[in-house]
Amino acid sequence: MQRVGDAVKDLGFEPAKVEQLKTAVSEAAMNAIEHGNDFRSELPVLVEVRASDSVLSVCITDQGGGAAIPESETPDLEAKLEGAQSPRGWGLFLIEHMVDKMNIMRDQAHHTVELILYRGGDNHGNHPI
């Protein structure tokens, strides 16, 4: 995640936004390693960073195509505090709340999680065309 942070440091994002992106990249990469690649060290996780004038895109791709990544649900903290649910389950929720948009794509052999930050605008999806 530090390398992604270094790659985007001159793109004009506030430091807090870069920290949020690094958290999202870290979580997506962990999911790719654990769920996509089954912790198999010989399988790579590809991280690609692309930037245009209006959009920063970071794609994290694993080698675990086939099964769909489940949709993110808001964790029920009260149920977890009561012991009615596992305390786990925060990864996708964190990713979604750290970036402007998250896209999930898959084919037969890969999952890709795309993290989007809009450059300029108000970070609520309203950005200059």
**What does the binding site for other proteins look like in residue numbers (CB under 8 A)?**
2, 16, 19-20, 23, 26-27, 30, 75, 77, 80-83, 86-91, 93-94, 97
CB of 110 to other proteins, least distance (A): 22
Of the pair 56, 92, the CB lying nearest other proteins is at 92
CB of 73 to other proteins, least distance (A): 13
- Rounded CA-CA distance 127/109 in Å is 34
Of the pair 70, 128, the CB lying nearest other proteins is at 70
- Side by side, the strands of the sheet bearing 46-51 are 46-51, 55-62, 111-118, 101-106
CB of 32 to other proteins, least distance (A): 13
What the block records as the tokens of 16 is 């807090």
The position carrying tokens 């997506």 is: 28
Picking from 64, 67, 35, 62, the residue whose alpha carbon sits closest to that of residue 48 is 62
